[in-house]
Every structure is written in structure tokens, then in C-alpha cells.
Structure 1
Amino acid sequence: MRCHPFFHAFSRGEDWGRREPPFARGFGRRGPDFDGGPKGGPFGGPGRRRMFDQGDLRFVVLKLIADKPSHGYEIIKAIEERVGGAYAPSPGVIYPTLTLLEEMGAIAVSQTDGPRKLYAVTPEGEATLRDKEKEVEAIFARMEDARARHGGGPAPQILRAMENFRTALRLRLSRGPLSADEVARLAAILDEAAKGVENA
């Protein structure tokens, strides 16, 4: 079984009647220049190759699902960890990619849990990965290189927890003035969290 023609089209730079969507160009936490454009970025710069070239992200998602059937959120975490926390695709990047791969017949929903869908690779998806093995290996090598260069930064799990903490605190304070008891209780929670971090 041969690679789906849509994958061949993107590997040649053709659009097969539809424009390449922004999510395939590496848009994510740091915006369109993150993967190395004219302004450069942690994965590239002038004269250096982009992290994700046109259509690369769908190969990344397909390979991760082939390695382990996954939900969308698990794929986001896996990509983030693969690049050492330097980049995390948003749900608005990943879920359209999953839909496209499903329409191509490269993946299929193997299990549902409410709104959560567990995706698994199909025989056609496996054939695509075999056919494009060298290209996929090159993409993952660039991701590993990004991880090595970003290795001094905080772990992705810590960055995610910090963001969740900031968001929860901001939302709570936005609900209106706090009573004296609420102020004391919230301050105690924050103090306890700080002590926990110090003692970790």
C-alpha cells in the first residue's frame, strides 16, 4: 500500500486544490516566526531550516499516534516534551490536523470517552510512514536538536502548572472583591504552595 497522494502533494510543495492552513506552518505558543522565518527563532534563523516545513506537523502527529494511540491532549504534551518545552501546539493546531489525518484515512478513532477521542493509526497511515521514513526521521531529528538546545529551560510539566496557577488566581480575583475571610484563606493557600515548592 502506497502513501496517500495528499502527503506526496505536500512533500512536493503542491496544494492539491486547497491552501496549506496556518497550523501546518508551525504556529503555536510563540507565533508564526517561532519555527524560524525572516526574524529567526529558537529553531532557526536566517539561512537555517525551519523546525516545521510545510505539512511536517501532520507527519509528527501521525508518527506519535503510530507509536501510541493517543488523545489530542496527549499529542500536545508529547510534542511539547519532544522539543524540551520550547514549543507547544495549541488545540486549535492539533485538532484540525487530527481531523485532516482522519479524512485522509491515515488514522481512525478507536475509542471514545465522552468528547475525548482515542486515535490509532490505520494500515494506510503505517504505509505512509514507511514510504516517508527518511523525511519523518529528519523532522524528529530537528525536534531532538531543539530539545538539546533548549535543555536548560524548565520542564514542560512545570511550565504548564505555572500557567494553570496564574490563570486560576487571575480568574478568582476577577470575580469581585474578596472578604476578609477569603483573603486570609487565599493567602494561606498561596503560602502553603510556596512552602511545598521550597521543600520539593
Structure 2
Amino acid sequence: MFGHHHPRCGTRGSRSFGPFNVEWSFDAPRGPRGGGYGGGRGRRMFDGGELRLVLLRLIADEPRHGYELIKAVEELTGGAYAPSPGTVYPTLTMLGEMGLTREQASDDTRKRFEVTPEGAMHLEENREQVEELIARLQAVGARRERADKAPIRRAMGNLRVALGHRLEKGEFSDDTLHDIAALIDEVAQKIERLR
């Protein structure tokens, strides 16, 4: 089971993972008190053997090499988080030493890894935790997506408020109203052309 002790990995719930720690690797959007997601920069994405389970799950989904695993995690989080090579490659070595993965035979110079029957059993034994970890990564991606849209929502709100106040006061002539409408139409056309 996941909680058993292994000579080169931390125990369940520990704050370190073997000889290294897994840290957030992005500047999270700041909340009203200046903190980012769950406390801001420096909060660990994974503790203990959690990254090991995530990588094992991704390898079980599809044989991959180290860079592909980094990109897969990054895609799950919408680009908000990517584990460093200095974290991923030692974890891959550990997975192999534990007999959970093996190198796939390939003509490619890069090592692709596949899950072993023992690895598949390990995932099944820890299925609930694995699903929670994947959900955590996807939640980070969802927060990132909402944060990315926030400036646009703010700008649209500013435009609506500014126009509303001025129109209520009746400060615009008919010519000025036509000029404002032309400006908004021009911006809309430029947005449609953006790629």
C-alpha cells in the first residue's frame, strides 16, 4: 500500500520527497490579502509520494518520457504548474527501482516508460488518492482559467459603468454618442481579428 516505507522515499504525509521538495512553480494570482492559491508562492503542490502516484497514473494512461510527463502535468493545470526536471527524473528513477515502471523498448533516444503489472496494482490500491490528486491539478487549471479571464471582465465592467454614468447625466451630444459607438464597433472588429 501507499503508506508503506521505502528506503528512498518519504512516508505518507511527510513534507519532503526523498532528497528533494516539490514546490509551486508559478506566481499565483493574489487575493485580497496578498496570498495566492491556498497561501501563495512557496506552497507545495505535492507532499510525500504524491508526485510519484501522479506520474505513475500518467504513464499508465500512455507510455511517456520525462519531458512528456512534465508537459502532461502542465496541461492538467492549464499551464499554471509544471514539475521541474530535477523533481521528475529522480521520481522516474525511483518508480523503476520500486518495480512500478520499466523502460519501454524503442528506437527513440529518449527513454519512454511503461507501467508494470505491479505498478498497475499499486495504482488500483491507491485509486481514490490518485483521483483526488488528478482532481487537484484540474482544479488549479480551473482557477488559472478564471484568473486569466478576470482582466477582461474587469475592463468590460469599467466600460459599462463609465458609459452608464455619463449617459444617465445626459452629457453626450448626438455626435459624441455616434463617435463612442464607432469606437466600440472598432474595438469589437479588432477583437474578432485577434488570433
Query: How many positions carry a matched residue from both structures?
Result: 142
* Letter in structure 1 aligned against 2:79: G
Q: Unaligned 5+ residue runs, structure 1?
A: 34-38, 155-197
1:62 aligns with 2:56: yes
SS of aligned partner of 1:69 = coil
- For residues 106-131 of structure 1, the C-alpha deviation after alignment (integer angstroms, 9 at most, x for no partner) is 00001244541010000000010000
Confirm or deny that 1:10 pairs with 2:8. no
Could you tell me which residue of structure 1 aligns to residue 19 of structure 2?
Answer: 21
Is 1:101–2:99 an aligned residue pair? no
Task: Check conservation: 2:10, 2:49, Cα contact below 8 A.
Answer: no
Amino acid at match of 1:122: T
Q: Does the residue aligned with 1:29 lie in a helix, a strand or coil?
A: coil
Alpha-carbon distance in 2 for matches of 1:26, 1:40: 19
The structure with the largest alpha-carbon Rg is 2
Residues 152 and 129 from structure 1, CA distance in 2 versus in 1: closer, same or farther, beyond 3 angstroms? same
Q: Which residue identity lines up with residue 61 of structure 2 in the other structure?
A: D
* Structure 2 residues without counterparts, runs of 5 or longer: 29-33, 149-192
Percent identity over the alignment is 44
Question: Mapping of 1:16-165 within 5 angstroms?
Answer: 20-22=18-20, 25-27=21-23, 29-30=25-26, 41-42=36-37, 44-45=38-39, 51-113=45-107, 115-152=109-146
Superposition deviation, residue 153 in structure 1: 6.4
SS of 1:120 mapped into structure 2: strand
Give the distance between the partners of 1:151 and 1:81, measured in 2 at CA: 12
CA contact (8 A) 2:26 2:80 kept: no
* Structure 2 counterpart SS, 1:27: coil
Does the residue aligned with 2:111 lie in a helix, a strand or coil? strand
